[in-house]
Structure 1
Amino acid sequence: MKKWKSMWLVFAIALLAILGACNAKEGATQSGKIEPSQAETTEITIDNNGTTQVYKEAPKKAISLNQHVTEIMLALGLEDSMVGTAYLDDKIYEPLQAAYDKVPVLAEQYPAKEQVIDAEADFLYGGWKSAFGEKGVGTPEELEALGIHTYLHTASNMTKPTLEDIFTDIRNIAKIFRVEDHGEALIAQMTKDVDDVRAKLPQNGENLRVLVFDGGDKDVFTAGQNFMNELVTIAGGNNVFGDVESGWTTVSKEDAVDRNPQVVVVIDYGETTAEEKINFLKNDPALKEIAAVKNECFVILPLSAASEGVRAAEAIQILAKGFYPDNF
Structure 2
Amino acid sequence: MSWRRPLLSAAVLIPLLAACSAAPQAAAPPAKPAAGFPYTVTNCGVRHTYQEPPRRAVTMNQHVTEIMLALGLEKSLVGTAYLDDAILPAYEKAYDSVPVLAKEYPSKEALLAANPDFVYGGYSSAFSAKDGRSRDDLGRSGIATRLNTEYCPTGSPSVDDLYREVRETGRTFGVPDRAEAWIRQARATVAATEKRLKATRPVSVFVYDSGDKTAFTAGGKGIGNELITRAGGRNVFADLDKAFGDATWEQVVDRRPDVVVIYDYGSTTVEQKKKRLLDDPALKDVPAIRNHRFAVMPLSDTVLGVRVPAAVDKLAAQLHPAAR
1:310 partnered with 2:306: yes
Structure 2: where are the runs of 5+ without partners? Answer: 1-30
| Residue of structure 1 aligned with 2:81, choices 66, 80, 86 | 86
Inter-partner Cα distance in structure 2 for 1:47 and 1:175? 12
Aligned pairs for 1:119-198 within 5 A: 119-136=114-131, 138-157=133-152, 158-198=154-194
Identity of aligned residues (%): 43
Distance 1:227 1:42, change over 3 A: closer
User: Who is 2:109 aligned against?
Assistant: 114
Question: Cα RMSD over matched residues?
Answer: 1.7
Q: Counterparts of 1:280-319 in structure 2 under 5 Å?
A: 280-319=276-315
Residue type of the partner of 1:308?
L
CA contact 1:212–1:267 (8 Å) conserved in 2 = yes
Question: Where does residue 230 of structure 1 map in the other structure?
Answer: 226
For residues 47-67 of structure 1, the C-alpha deviation after alignment (integer angstroms, 9 at most, x for no partner) is: 223322121111111000111
Residues 1:99 and 2:109 aligned together: no
Q: C-alpha displacement at 1:41, in angstroms?
A: 7.0
Q: Which residue of 2 aligns with 1:276?
A: 272
Q: How far off is 1:208 after superposition?
A: 0.6
Asked if 1 retains the 8 angstrom alpha-carbon contact of 2:214 and 2:248, the reply is yes
Instruction: For 2:185 and 2:240, locate their aligned partners in 1 and report how far apart those are by CA, in whole Å.
Output: 32
- Structure 1 stretches of 4+ with a deviation exceeding 6 A read none
Q: Does 1:46 align with 2:46?
A: no
Consecutive unaligned residues in structure 1, runs of 5 or more:
1-35
Q: Deviations over 1:104-136 (max 9, x none)?
A: 111011112222222121110011111112355
Q: Which of 236, 243, 258 pairs up with 1:262?
A: 258
Normalised TM-score (structure 1): 0.85
Q: Which amino acid aligns with 2:61?
A: N
SS in 2 for 1:289: coil
1:252 aligns with: 248
TM-score (norm. length: structure 2): 0.86
- Give the number of aligned pairs: 292
> What does residue 31 of structure 1 align with?
none
How far, CA to CA, are the matches of 1:170 and 1:110 in structure 2?
23
Kept in 1, the 8 Å contact 2:36–2:171? The answer is no
| Structure of greater Rg | 2
**AA at the equivalent of 1:95:** A
Deviations, residues 283-305 of structure 1 (Å, cap 9, x unaligned): 01112321111111101100001
